[in-house]
Structure 1
Amino acid sequence: MFRSRELSPVELLEAIIARSDAVNAGINAFTETLFEEAMPAARDAASRYARDGDLPPLLGLPVATKEKHGIRGRTLSQGLVARQHERATENHPVVERILQSGGIIHARTTTPEFSCATVTHGPLWGVTRNPWNRQYSPGGSSGGAGAALAAGLTTLATASDIAGSTRLPASFTGNVGFKAPYGRIPGLAPLSADHYRGDGPMARTVADAALLANVMAGRHPGDHASLAYAPALAPSSGTGAGMRIALCIRLGNYPVAADVETNTRRVAAALRDAGAMVEEIELPWTSQNISRMMFTHFGYLLGPAMEDETAGSEGWLAPYTRRFMSDARQAAEQNRFLDGVRSETLLQAQLADAMAGFDALICPASAVAALEADGMYLDGIDANGERLEHYWQGHMTAPFNIANRCPVLAVPSGMADCGIPTGVQIVGHPFDDATVFRLGAAVEAVLPWAGGHPEDFSAPSSMSPY
């Protein structure tokens, strides 16, 4: 539409600003808006389209960036009250590449403290709510990104993922989220060395997610682990006919809610009807063992980093942040680093064996259909008749951070009984990004969701817990 002059980048940004002014108060998706700085960039983009020529891939598109993706000269707090006035000295690599590609950063999105929760609330920014049903969370930690996309406040958004922080918000808000394989998209040192983590795109459609993933990907001098550029490819319009797909509902013993299972099987059935070969498999995992693996890993890297960053200001922290650091510390005391690596490599081998002969694996993103917007979950969570010790055990994303060379695309699968979306994960073989985007496009074709959106709203629904 920009190229044909049907729409101007200025008109699009004006519409997004008007939409944000009208509805963001009801969901609280932004930490700050950059509308004044964005408008001149939109005018410049409009001029460049008028001149044609060689145009960069994101030219004129508004992009909302996660607050942790620092912008030089702007605040970089990680959601911490004690650091709310600190400023970034450089652009995060994904910010750098968005700007180089003509994207217009018009807003920054909310997160929980240190991006260490799968709900999005904290003392600094309050509670972010799901546009589909504001009783519930958009998920976390990239909850502001998911909420902004679902509410029509941006066209694209950045996210990050160390235990599901891209895929869970995408699933809870009806969006598409990509957890790239480790190294595909450069991060910021020193935690770029953490092989669980990764930055990536969130968008409303598979093609949009691929567009932003292609911009983000490639080697960067600041990230020694970053890989050579390998495009995610523009998804085709195929239906997945001929593909061999493994379906795993529980990933071992995750207590999957009935509506989540129904929607996951609906995706599998639609692909089978379109000509894909779908076979149901089992995996020998337990959510308890995966939680132990995950927190052992956190106990040797992210946990100590958080303790260093918050030393002297512990009293300002949200309860979930203190719980995270305590769990990580305890796991490191109980397990050696080598114990964690042994468990991780066993899980990776089990996944490789299970996926042998298949193009990809499909499973739910979360066993629980929803989280309360202001929930702390310090005492665990009820999940399908079971009481889980840690609420993260209700999510099915962490195994693929442990097996983090596998690309994973989260796409919508339907609506939960509580009125918010559910999602499935499409898991590929190590570094096979193209297949997960191809299969994601097939799911989108056989179960189209583009154009679906929550009803309008304006006022917050309840008080903040802070």
Structure 2
Amino acid sequence: MHALGAVETLRSFRARELSPVEVLDALLDRIHADDGAALGGRAMDGEGSANAVNAVVQVLEGSRAEALDAERRYARGEYDETLGRGSSALLGLPVATKEKHGIAGETLSQGFFELRDDRAPADHPVIERIRAAGGIVHARTASPEFSCATVTHSKLWGVTRNPWNRELSPGGSSGGAGAALAAGFTPLATASDIAGSTRIPAAFCGVVGYKAPYGRIPGLPPLSADWYRGDGPMARSVADTALLTNVLSGIHPVDHGTVPGHGPLPTEYGDAAQWLVGRRIALAVRLGDYPVHPDVERAVRETTARLVAAGAVVEEFELPWTSAAVRDLTMGHFGHILAPAMRQLTEDMTEVAAYTQRFIDDASTAGRSMSLVDTLAGEARLQADLAAAMAGYDALLAPVNAVDGLRADGDYLDGLEATGPAGGPVRLEHYWQGHMTVPFNVSNRCPVLSVPVGFAGNGLPVGLQIVGHPYAEESVFRAGAAIEAIQPWPLVAA
């Protein structure tokens, strides 16, 4: 049962082939056996087992009572006739949520050891919507401090490891979410993305992650006003990701940046590959000069060859970007918004991770070197470049990560030793240059879906970004479903 998808599980509940209690118990057993998490509702503390995935930081003790209630509702036929709609859209489905998505009365540390006893005053909007749709929050997942790294480890929760290769990281910052999905601890998970924090772990863990257009999924003020950011879903299939996207999306009174959409995304795709026939798709393997690892490039090119064989027209080009310029521009942005917020939060702390302090220092330095108006001008140029490149195409494809993986316990404070396209070593000044995600946070009205497209030699999956035109959400899901149909991926790590 741990490998079942969300839509498949909902159908089984309706047919009375499975019960919510059976599914929840199977997932809790798997968490207990492979993760090292306590099952009594206690947050984890310390390093944990060196062999554990260490993705789950808390199991919610009330989840079984919720599963029993859902079981009774199914027995009474108390669910919407249309699957995935209304108050029964997720009825009885377990959902793992990123710890930063606060639950009223539960701890809310955001990975900081010194905030381990803080409590959330209210449910985060995504928690509120999951519960209103009948979903069961059974587990909470790890992230680095303040979600500010592309690896997932902290003094509070220890090192989160990739189920595909436990010496390597699931990525970050939603690394616990990606690892939990890949390990079969949950069919659905919540994540967040301000520079790639959903797509990076989705790619490294071989699952699907969605960065919705800015404003489609509500966040919490004041930082929800940062136009780079967004909360969102992760799952193991395109349909399951669409299911959770539908539940989370829409105007919310807490977040005045939320916007309406064009209706629910489909959760059934029929002859998905047929969508590809005649579609014009742009391919940007390096987004300028990102040093893409040969294994990553190979997986991306093999997938695009299958798209062409299925009837799509794929044309390759390069954008006039450099990873260093993108780094400087986006760090400048964070120097005016995120770094001051982090400095304010941590100013009285005596123990802060080295990667957290490095992020604050780097972003603050970049913010002093350019005004907010300068960063806006740079963002406008990048957005114009992307719009020109995508003109006449249905979607743009690019790798998620330029690198094939990161060490599970790595800090990468002194940059990153990468492998270039020719197989030789490449030195990157900042580890952010190993990920090709943040340009699409700058162009944050564009929907971006990350899907698996193969494996690197180290055993980690490779992810592909599908970028759509502003707010054209269905297009990236159609493209993702087509790739899933012509090139199915494993559901969980072996």
Please report the TM-score for the alignment, with normalisation by the length of structure 2.
0.91
Matched, 1:421 2:461: yes
2:30 paired residue among 15, 19, 25: 19
- Given residue 309 of structure 1, which amino acid in structure 2 is its aligned partner? L
Pairing of 1:105-116 with structure 2 (within 5 A):
105-116=137-148
Structure 2: distance between partners of 1:130 and 1:161: 19
Pairing of 1:137-148 with structure 2 (within 5 A):
137-148=169-180
Structure 1: distance between partners of 2:57 and 2:30: 16
Aligned position for 2:415: 380
Aligned position for 1:165: 197
Tell me if structure 2 keeps the 8 A contact 1:189–1:222.
yes
- Given residue 367 of structure 1, which amino acid in structure 2 is its aligned partner? A
What secondary structure sits across from 1:88 in the alignment?
coil
Structure 1: distance between partners of 2:240 and 2:78: 22
Structure 2: distance between partners of 1:235 and 1:347: 35
* Post-superposition offset of 1:358: 0.2
Tell me if structure 1 keeps the 8 A contact 2:144–2:152.
yes
Question: Deviation per CA, 1:322-355, whole angstroms, max 9, x where unpaired?
Answer: 0000011101111111111101000000000000
What secondary structure sits across from 1:212 in the alignment?
helix
Tell me if structure 2 keeps the 8 A contact 1:206–1:235.
no
Structure 1: runs of 5 or more not aligned: 456-466
1:121 paired residue among 153, 176, 184: 153
Displacement over 6 Å in runs of 4+:
none
Aligned residues: 452
Pairing of 1:421-440 with structure 2 (within 5 A):
421-440=461-480
* Post-superposition offset of 1:450: 4.3
1:324 paired residue among 344, 359, 363: 359
Aligned position for 1:459: none
Question: Deviation per CA, 1:355-380, whole angstroms, max 9, x where unpaired?
Answer: 00000000100000100000000000
Matched, 1:401 2:441: yes
2:101 paired residue among 69, 83, 100: 69
* Post-superposition offset of 1:31: 1.2
Tell me if structure 1 keeps the 8 A contact 2:73–2:79.
no
Aligned position for 2:430: 390
* Structure with the larger RCO, 1 or 2 (CA within 8 Å, 6+ apart): 1
Structure 2: distance between partners of 1:19 and 1:54: 28
Pairing of 1:50-449 with structure 2 (within 5 A):
50-55=75-80, 56-230=88-262, 231-236=264-269, 237-239=271-273, 240-313=276-349, 315-384=350-419, 385-449=425-489
Tell me if structure 2 keeps the 8 A contact 1:93–1:187.
yes
Structure 2: runs of 5 or more not aligned: 1-11, 37-51, 81-87, 420-424
What secondary structure sits across from 1:361 in the alignment?
strand
Tell me if structure 2 keeps the 8 A contact 1:235–1:437.
no
* Post-superposition offset of 1:232: 2.7
Q: Percent identity?
A: 59
Structure 1: distance between partners of 2:267 and 2:200: 23
Aligned position for 1:462: none
- Given residue 460 of structure 2, which amino acid in structure 1 is its aligned partner? I
Structure 2: distance between partners of 1:24 and 1:339: 46
Please report the TM-score for the alignment, with normalisation by the length of structure 1.
0.96
Structure 1: distance between partners of 2:368 and 2:92: 50
Root mean square deviation, CA, Å: 0.9
Change (3 A) 1:434 1:109: same
Tell me if structure 2 keeps the 8 A contact 1:205–1:450.
no
